[in-house]
Amino acid sequence: MGGNFDYIEVKDMDREKIAQVWAHQVEQSRYEDGRSYSGQIGMLSEEIGGWHDLGLDYSAAQEWLSDNHNKWEPALAVSYYAQPKPEINVKALAKISVHQKSIADLVESYKKAYTDMTDAFKSAKSNMVGCKTCNSKLNRTYLKPMPSHSSYNLERGVQNLGTQGYFCPVCKSSLQTDSQIERLRKIVAKIQPHLDKIKELSAVKREFVKDPNQKHWLIGGWCPS
């Protein structure tokens, strides 16, 4: 039983109205995604557990919410100010586009490699598999793999690109082969340099502006999945 980070973005207004928007979105998620470990905001309470008017930028607000919310607890709300997009010259934009395409290709390669790895485990002839770490004997039929994640952003880099696949429920060690995991790690390692280059090409010196008309709230947290 894991968790998925999910939230909504709401433009600043009366907090009572924001709370109503949140409650409506939670109920909508329950209708669309179900009520059983969906990993979406429908798994959270309709009440907001805390308001944190920190006035961060968007990425910092995401990071704060991710670091401060605990699964099973009511959602948290943190404020941020949307910033005007910096102007980037045409040549830089063209180079950024190339790096973005490379990242997209690598993520697809990662997803395929992850699927190949878990499919090979699932389709093995023997129903039993042994854990090299704790020596447990396990029936493949009852095992489930860790979900494959492919999330990344410029501020925090590559994150949650899982390489574990099927794992031992006793000691939590991976049951995949070293070569399978290394294949995934090599793909993940190739993504970060492209992110670094995009961040460098996108860098434009500008002052952080707290425009009241651009104040928003992120509301949500870690949802059981």
- Tell me the whole-structure pTM to 2 decimals: 0.49
Percent of the chain with pLDDT over 70: 88
- Cα(121)–Cα(136) distance, rounded to whole angstroms? 16
Kindly state the average pLDDT of the residues 99-118. 89
pLDDT-derived band at 74, boundaries 50, 70, 90: very high
215 to 55, 73, 91, 168, 201: CA distances (angstroms): 8, 25, 32, 46, 27
Q: Which two tokens stand for residue 137?
A: 């004997």
Q: How far is CA 209 from the centre of its chain?
A: 27
Phi-psi region of 61 (alpha: psi -120 to 50; beta: other; left: phi over 0): alpha
8 or 141: which carries more pLDDT confidence? 8
